[in-house]
Chains A and B, each alone.
Chain A
Amino acid sequence: MEQLEQLIEGCIIGNRQSQNRLYAVLMPKMFGVCLRYSKTREEAEEILQEGFIRVFEYMHQYNFAGSFEGWVRKIMVNCALQKYRSKKQMHAVVNIDSTAVEPVSNEEILSRIGTKELLQMVQQLSPAYRMVFNLYVFEGMKHREIAEHLGISEGTSKSNLSDARAFLQRAVHKSIQSAKQNLNEV
């Protein structure tokens, strides 16, 4: 903890070595966050880069009150939001298969589907769905806050979340089915 504070203080005075070390400490987790908000790895790297530049730029505003990691994470999410807003958004038309999906326990899914595959599913969501899903599930935001951040109505936020969930559910189901088939073939 003391080491982190020293790094932060070093970053505040613009010490490049401290900045490098802090980056090395936080980078893997933050890149994981960025990956969830972007479609590709390159896009995630862009968000990570912009996010860390802001972290170093506004480091003096950190008051050591809350979790530093949480503060950095917030900046990363804001960068992702800004990137999302800066792009002209197209309303994606997603075909959601309404057929019922047989319930499978999370443990079973996780044993069959890897993290990477789940991440890819999130990345395959349309930007609007991905943003709403991420903000709701990972950041714990309410629909009102999401609507405010994305400049949409609360209803749209709810609808987007519902569609995103349905899409992911279908994707998970498909993935399990194909995994089962592979097992049977073997």
Chain B
Amino acid sequence: MNKDLHNIDDLFRKALEENQELPSASVWDNIDKTLDKKKVVSISKKYNKLKWVAAVLLLFSLGMAMYTLHIRKQNRELVKQNREGKNILKQKPQNESSSGDSSMSNTANANVQVYVNGHNNNLQKQIQHADTEIANNKITTTENKALTNKKDAGEKEVVTNKNNNIISSSLSEGESNALLNRKKLTGKNTARVQMNIEAGTTDSLYPNDKTDKQFAVSYNKNNIDRTHAVDNSFHDIITDRQRNIETTSLSPELKNDLLLPIQNPAYQNNNKKSSGEMVFKKKPFSSNSKSIKIKSDSGSPVSATVFFSPDIVSTQVRDDHPRFREEERNAIERDERIKFSSTFGVLVNYNIGKSWKLESGLTYSSRKTDIQPKTIYARPDNDGNINYRFNCSAGYSYVTVKSPTPPASGDSINALASTNNLQYIGLPFYAKYIFIAGRFSILPGAGVSFNFLTKGQIETTIAPTSGSKIQSTDKIQGLKPMYLNGAAGVELQYNLNKTFSLSFEPAFRFAISSINKDASVKTNLNSFGLSTGIVLKL
């Protein structure tokens, strides 16, 4: 019988070994078409790195474009406000002069807009050099027609009542442009302050009125004589009409540094006594002043969000040249259930303009998957040794089981309930659009996240045919060190106060690349997360 069996083998071997037949012509046509498609795919793979570079450049360009737009918008606003300020300053004196108000105690309102951008330069220093500046035509005087004090008969001196003395001082880069009515500082601490100073609302801005240093300017109606009473230091320029300055919230730097034209009550007295002299005084700001209104729309564009997000994960598994049945997608997927998945982290937000926000930071995500008991088979590992191979959607690991005889290829063993644990640190880049509705802000946005593998582990219990159960913890192989995912979501923020906001964001994260590369399957991780966090405005 045995001989017959071998005869059968030989019979078929001889008959069919060299058997040749011709397939239909459609086979080559199909091969031809498929090769064309593969060629396209291989070209796209070839330029994969270039695609990444292009994506990064695109993101960078987008960021730069948004930043440039933001700066331009800001500049336009500044220019607009400058113009408005100038118009107000020009119009006021005209109105006043036309009304024939020429008294020294002119209480007409002057709206002065002061913009402060930058360094808190000590204006004292500026003033110390002011005499030089003034000598260099840094003082522009808007004459308020004539203020003639006719108390002293025979003497026709016009004392200039400077309603709107503008010192256009270009002291140095980043320093004040206008000392009197306009001040613009530029520098690191960008703070834009719009200050409306209204005369006539308070009388006690400068309570410590001392007339120790004076700057007198005498005017003729047609000729302006400027006399500098240079007494070591020139302090300030005083306008006698801006006696009343209303302030509500002057920033400390302004309180310290800002010089405003002030009305010196002593000057009035002096003026009454000795006509033709106008006294400019420098007075420190009253710290308890309540009459200067500062409208500050400043605020750091940076904020930070601490968040936690429980995630619902779905995996997309597809075959990637499995060699054995147990390595196939169906066999792997059937046994796996996601147990727990969450993400938490800190994100730093940067506002670009009023409508856009860029977000980046660090996230940490953890994912545990339960694997049902299954049979695992001994296969040659990467070093050529035969070990039991545990396949899962994340990759594979080789379980070493101590036994007197090493396993042969194809031998099987039972793996009881197992868990695989994946942990990633993410580096997200998101762009969000801001809609503000009262205390609520709605921020739809999208972006990408680079996820770097920190841990990939399988914990399993092996039940050998003889002996006790063996606990085994092995590193998952076949995982990519980094994978990329995209994200899209809508963030809802509720402003608790100026510093804190509550944040809630349902977000969908979808895989752009798979998490594994050398495994029998390719797995894409998609998730839906409900992120809850606190936003701290820095």
Contacts and interface: CB of A to CB of B under 8 A. Distances in A.
Interface string B185-226: 000000000000000000000000000000000000000000
Interface in A39-53: 41, 44-45, 48-49, 52-53
A27 B5 CA distance: 31
B407 to A, nearest CB: 12
Contacts of B5: 162, 165, 169
A7 interface: no
A85 B321 CA distance: 11
Nearest to A110: B15
Contact of A144 (B13, B32, B409): B409
A137 B21 CA distance: 20
A172 to B, nearest CB: 7
B28 A20 contact: yes
Contacts of B23: 27, 31, 41, 44-45, 48
A151 B325 contact: yes
Contacts of B135: none
Contacts of A31: 20-23
Interface string A103-114: 100100110000
Nearest to B408: A144
Interface in B366-392: 377, 379
B8 interface: yes
Given A49-B27, A168-B12, A169-B4, A85 B325 contact: yes
B409 A115 contact: no
A145 B377 CA distance: 13
B410 interface: yes
A115 B410 contact: no
A5 interface: no
Interface in A45-70: 45, 48-49, 52-53, 56-57
B18 A32 contact: yes
A118 B35 contact: no
B538 to A, nearest CB: 55
A36 B16 contact: yes
Contacts, number: 121
Interface string A134-162: 00111000001101111111100000001
A65 B471 CA distance: 45
A165 B8 contact: yes
B36 to A, nearest CB: 9
Interface string B110-121: 000000000000
B32 A122 contact: no
B11 interface: yes
B324 A85 contact: yes
A13 to B, nearest CB: 12
Nearest to A133: B12
A148 B410 contact: yes
B10 interface: yes
B7 interface: yes
B326 interface: yes
Tell me whether chain B's interface is mostly helix, strand or loop, or mixed. helix
Contact of B8 (A35, A152, A153, A172): A172
Contact of A86 (B32, B326, B328): B328
**What's the interface size class on B, roughly?**
35 or more
B49 to A, nearest CB: 20
B410 A153 contact: yes
A85 B10 CA distance: 27
Given A48-B27, A148-B410, A154-B410, A106 B4 contact: no
Contacts of B13: 137-138
B5 to A, nearest CB: 5
Given A45-B27, A85-B324, A110-B14, A165 B410 contact: no
B39 interface: yes
Given A57-B38, A115-B16, A151-B325, A35 B21 contact: yes
A35 B30 contact: no
Contacts of B410: 144, 147-148, 151-154
A118 B30 contact: no
B322 interface: yes
B34 interface: yes
Contacts of A35: 19, 21
B335 to A, nearest CB: 16
A99 to B, nearest CB: 12
Given A32-B20, A45-B23, A148-B410, A23 B28 contact: yes
B355 to A, nearest CB: 50
B297 interface: no
Most buried by B among A57, A85, A144, A150: A85
B153 interface: no
A147 B34 CA distance: 32
B449 to A, nearest CB: 33
Given A172-B8, A172-B11, A53 B16 contact: no
A26 B31 CA distance: 14
A53 B35 CA distance: 7
B232 interface: no
Contacts of B324: 85, 148-149, 151
A40 B289 CA distance: 100
B4 A118 contact: no
A155 B34 CA distance: 40
Contacts of A118: 11-12, 15-16
Interface string A1-36: 000000000000010100110010001110110011
A32 B18 CA distance: 8
B179 to A, nearest CB: 76
A133 B463 CA distance: 34
Interface of A: 14, 16, 19-20, 23, 27-29, 31-32, 35-36, 41, 44-45, 48-49, 52-53, 56-57, 82, 85-86, 101, 103, 106, 109-110, 115, 118-119, 122, 133, 136-138, 144-145, 147-154, 162, 165, 168-169, 172
Given A110-B15, A151-B410, 4 more contacts: A27-B28, A32-B20, A56-B31, A110-B11
20 contacts: A19-B31, A19-B35, A23-B31, A31-B22, A32-B21, A45-B23, A49-B27, A49-B30, A56-B35, A106-B7, A106-B11, A115-B15, A118-B15, A119-B16, A122-B16, A133-B12, A138-B13, A148-B324, A151-B410, A165-B8
